Chain A
């Protein structure tokens, strides 16, 4: 057997907890705090690393759904050039390899820029349409819940009962 990533993460955490952190003098507060946080990061990474591409593919699907809704319903009253760009970016994003973490990241970045342009419309001083606002908020509610659930192990969430099990956001 060769050491797996899970085994090595487990070894790192044990070394930090049992050997390294106890050996740091109490007055070295930054070193102690950071070593403890290294251990916490490693524990969260061990829960996430195998599912990163799946999780980010889900985020890309959510963003694609938002852009599609904005285009199809013309919620943002887009000029033609922006609409054309949005349609072609959406088509490219939909064909992204869902197993390639780097490609998914690039698509998310590009679609995010586009979403920004559609929502902000700095050249348009009309008040935001209620339907545009509602579409973005619905997306925001879904995606923020996914993100909170993905990072639930950070124990920052003031409403842990609301977050979902990892399996349910990776479907």
Chain B
């Protein structure tokens, strides 16, 4: 396989502001080292049981009994297993979830960051309780975290769908129950008083600078340099446009980074949210970034009349009006457009770069899903083109 090298001039003014967060840079460096050790095979239940035994023994648990290890469906980036645990001081079996990095996935992120942010938002939005973290894979053998099991569904049990990773799901009559919670939980995340919390794995962008936007551009352009299989002119153009048009972030907030359909669970009877999931992209940045992500067309679907619904829930206008009403924030349409482009750029890189590279190398348990998702890339490129043309 040919590997392409892109020349970058780090002294260029376009590159200087908003350097990549230190932990992200470390994870991406580690990815390139681990890459050489592939290919990767999906873990068996027996292997997972051994890994869990090591983890809980290291935690000092005695008389361990681990049963019912079952792979959980879905996901293109992490391996997830549910299991029951009992031990001397808690003899009643408890159901837990192991969320673990394969060698590579559609994105490489930090389980330590994910555990910190989930802990930080506990009580603010519904999330599982973190029970164990191995940020660098020193005990489990690969990075992972263990949390308690929460029940719920990501799509209505009575609405037909044939989606991958939640893409294209419809909610029909469930939408009215879910819409207010979708907005309220997003506002709660953005209102988090993050300065008072332990977020030592995170670097905050200074308020009133371009760093929030540029650190994201730096993150994803580095991923593209590492993972690109074939050059894509629109991705190159988008990076240049994003650097030249980065907006100022007045007040950094906690950004979920992957706030969309498929990443929340709700009770299949009441419709009440039981969990906001997939915090691996979380970072400190501009609130427009989450709005610009949720409205990506890939995550939407038409209603029965053909009207396009954001995340299968609301029209664009209704979503923004509700967000402004609940948050008290005013959406800046130019910043919103910038972050729509940034998010489309990031998603195009994941689908046309990382997914293809990892599938070629056979470094994931989901190579087949990754090559299935690759064609999502041109959908994001189409959005980039239309949004820059309209800027």
Contact = CB atoms under 8 A, between A and B. Distances in A.
A46 to B, nearest CB: 15
Interface string B372-387: 1101111101101110
Interface in A34-85: 34, 37-38, 40-41, 63, 66
B4 interface: yes
Interface string A77-106: 000000000000000000000000000000
Contacts of B14: 122, 125
A113 interface: yes
Interface stretch (B194-202, B203-211, B266-274, B296-304): B296-304
Say what secondary structure dominates the interface of chain A: helix
Contacts of B388: 133, 137
Interface string B80-104: 0000000000000000000000000
Contacts of B70: 27, 29
B233 A116 contact: yes
Interface in B30-88: 42, 70-74
Nearest to A133: B237
A6 interface: no
Given A122-B12, A158-B298, A128 B385 contact: no
Interface centre among B13, B71, B375, B388 (most CB of A within 10 A): B375
B73 A120 contact: no
Nearest to A109: B230
Contacts, number: 136
A17 to B, nearest CB: 14
Contacts of A109: 2, 4, 230-231
A156 B231 contact: no
Interface string A148-171: 101100111111000000000000
A115 B73 contact: no
A156 B376 contact: yes
Contacts of A122: 7-9, 12, 14-15
A147 B368 CA distance: 19
A12 to B, nearest CB: 14
Given A33-B73, A144-B378, A158-B168, A66 B241 contact: no
A125 B231 CA distance: 21
Given A108-B230, A119-B236, A141-B385, A151 B71 contact: no
B375 A144 contact: no
Contacts of A148: 375, 378-379, 382
Interface in B272-330: 297-298, 300-302, 308
A112 B168 contact: no
Contacts of A155: 162, 168
Interface residues of A, number: 44
B389 interface: yes
B240 interface: yes
A7 interface: no
B167 interface: yes
Interface string B132-153: 0000000000000000000000
B234 A136 contact: yes
Interface centre among B71, B237, B301, B302 (most CB of A within 10 A): B237
A144 B384 CA distance: 10
B1 to A, nearest CB: 11
B297 A136 contact: no
Interface of A: 27, 29-30, 33-34, 37-38, 40-41, 63, 66, 108-109, 112-113, 115-117, 119-120, 122-123, 125, 127-128, 133, 136-137, 139-141, 143-145, 147-148, 150-151, 154-159
Given A29-B72, A128-B237, A150-B375, 8 more contacts: A34-B368, A37-B372, A119-B240, A137-B388, A147-B377, A151-B378, A155-B168, A156-B167
| CB-CB nearest 10 A-B residue pairs | A112-B231, A151-B375, A147-B378, A140-B234, A144-B382, A144-B381, A144-B378, A29-B73, A122-B9, A140-B385
28 contacts: A29-B70, A34-B369, A37-B368, A109-B4, A112-B232, A113-B231, A115-B236, A117-B7, A119-B236, A120-B240, A122-B15, A128-B240, A137-B234, A137-B385, A140-B237, A143-B378, A144-B382, A145-B378, A147-B377, A148-B379, A148-B382, A155-B168, A156-B298, A156-B375, A156-B376, A158-B297, A158-B300, A158-B308
